[in-house]
Structure 1
Amino acid sequence: MEISAQHVWLMISAAMVLLMTPGLGLFYGGMTRAKAALNMIMMSFISAGIVGVVWVLWGYSMTTGDGVLGLFGNPFANFGLQNLMGSPDLIKAGYSATFAIITVALISGAIADRARFGAWALFVPVWITVVYCPLAYMVWGGGLMSAGGAVTAVFGQVIDFAGGAVVEISSGTAALVLALIVGQRHGFAKDPNHRPHNVPFIMLGAAILWFGWFGFNGGAATSAEQAGLIWVNTLVTPAAAMLSWLVTEKIRHGHPTSLGAASGVVAGLVAITPSCANISPLAAVGLGLVAGAACAVFVDLKYRFGLDDSLDVVGVHLGAGLIGTLALGFIALPADGLGGGLFYGGGVQQLIAQTAAVVITLLLSGVGTLVIGRAINKAIGFRVSHEAEAAGVDLAEHAESAYAFGEIGAGFNPLPHAASPSPAGVSAPDRSANAVSGATAQPSKEDSFA
């Protein structure tokens, strides 16, 4: 079979989506402290390594084909992808793998600074198998929420073009549960050293994410007309969300920040994910304005509720994922087999279908993550020791440092043979790492990062 333009575009899109994961590593690495930057990047990289193998062995099989009660596909149907050899469906398998990789990597931001790398490496394949693959099958693979599925028959056809429920709500819910299991960082909400240490990394990571998201949303386009709509919506929604986040930040905290701009872009990208092919560009602008302002408020709520969602995964991905998924009940364009949202005279049917998808996703991801997280925590422990957290998870878990100043650099690890901690409870290498972060002064209210 000759390669077609559609095949080429899908391979390019897959490469763009794969690039999003190291981009996420930079985004998260910049948001955390200097002594945990490498650990955050490694959590994204190891997700790619583990999920890439899992996807070939059984992951892709669980998202396609004949399923078990509409919940997941047969894990052995395409084990090792042997049945796809010589078929263009192999491209589709590779493309879908990149979605699974970025989804589980997103969760890691909620447990920054304090998670054991081995525990995370165990969590990744189990969560992909138990939570992500069933959700992907239910929505995209012929399961309960697909066309002809049991949920669709009762509530109507769910719209989730690129993963508002499968990717964003599931990862945001998992982040919430895992943050509760692991617990707060020492000094949460009081220690100025918990502020981001490298804002340029954050901006670079957000730019890579925005670039990759055009493949994330547009890879599955089936026509030039649909691709054009997706491209424009993927441009304007994060643009509008960035503006509304900055305005909200200015009103609430006195200054628009670089972190706010980057976070607004991500919030807009999350919000447009489920609806990129199903709303007009004007509606996409409105969606971005709502998502950016709302998520700027959501991320502050973690301090009120004592939730140490370190890098705002819950506020941005769960928050904007819910907004974008439910918004389709109001602003979805009428299409074949779909009456459209309330604003187009389509009635409440689409809103009911979207709500059903949200509830199912929250339950599956919430319960699944709770069981997996608690089992791992009980078996091997999910959290590093207090001493390792103080010294930095980069040194404790990887024997490396992101920055080389004096004796601190790659390969230098003061644990477990370091000298006794100073009276302040922080080892000498830790003080140097904190100096790198530039976060030694108590921040004013307007300097606080949500």
Structure 2
Amino acid sequence: MSAVQDIVTGMGVVEVAARTVVLASADAALRQRLRRSLTGLRWQVREATGGAEAMAQLEASRPEALLVDSWLPDLEVGEFAGQVRRMYPTMEMLRVDGGVDGGARSPRRNELLHALREAQEAPLNDTATWKAAPIVVPRSPGRAPSVVKNFDQEAARRALSVLLGREETSRPESVVGSPLQDEVMLPEMVGASEPMRELTRLIRLVAPRSTTVLIEGETGTGKEVVAQALHRLSERAAKPFTVLNCAAIPEALLEAELFGHARGAFTGAVQSRTGRIEAAHGGTLFLDEIGEMPMALQAKMLRFLECGELQRVGDNETVRVDVRVIAATHQPLQQRSEERTFRLDLYHRLAVFPVEVPALRDRMEDLNLLTEHILEKMGQKMPRKRLSAEAAAKLHEHHWPGNVRELMHVLERGAILSGDRMEVGAEEIRYRRATRE
């Protein structure tokens, strides 16, 4: 048997690494036992602690098979499995509980099933394995699972029984909105509403890839926070995260700021300068307010996105740069491209994976969580204040055209107006008057 099998799909020939399996599970002890069993059967095992990481492993290794746990800490298992089936229809996919989850049949399926049974039936004699990572123990419906460290061996046995499905009545649900979903929210994403859960799912799904992302949303919704989360969860997290606000730099200087310039390229260019793109080499470039980029510069940006090469202003040499581009805008770029005020080809190149950040008025159930989060952050620089019941109710009556940014300003203003009092009253919750057109 060769190291690589050629499997013909409807899109052509795809190279599949034989005897390579991706193991997706948040349970470190289970992964260790499966790795031991599969390695003994001469399999190469690539581990992933969640669905997003598993997607990156699938793309990188094109394995023969995928083993996926009954739940994942970042993605809903059903949706993850469905996407895997669409993207890799010729790959064997098995659940940790021994079930078949679609796709082709591996010629070594029996080996995989044997490894799964062996891993599930293995005694837990190594307590150090359980101390290496926290264990998530599902609670009763309606409550978030708790994370318990330094379990004793008996508690570890009980937790493993739940995770492996041996106690069906306590088994965690694998649907959107289940109690386990409370564990998957990113620290940057404050809120538990359905729009925020969907946003978190998309972030985790695309973060491990180098795909260009276009973040859309109204002013003040937190688009840069989303970009930072994408960078933090990517393999480029240790590299630079460079930000350029296209609306904050004069048009005449924007090209040099973005691409850099050579010495003497223009008046005042007394020395060469590295541009923001080159400064982000190996990392992520975040282009905020991309809709403000001049048309002439859009063509040059499109050229860079297509070939990964840039040319500094006043220089004849090209420089190759490895950068992931994330762009953000509050403008309807698709509509602008149809009106020919934004390049259609650049829009399509940026919107490979569009992500929309919901407006605050569309997730008002998150208002209390956001308020507490903002007050907590403000309490790091000034005495921690709280809202009266009347003040909290007044917040829910507002439409929030300025979204989360406006909420931050209203709370800061209220804290100042309350003076030495530790409680912000309804009279201190003041909104700016709308400007007349």
What TM-score results when the alignment is normalised by the length of structure 1? 0.28
Bigger Rg over Cα:
2
**Greater RCO structure (CA 8 Å; 6+ sep):** 1
**Greater strand share, 1 or 2?**
2
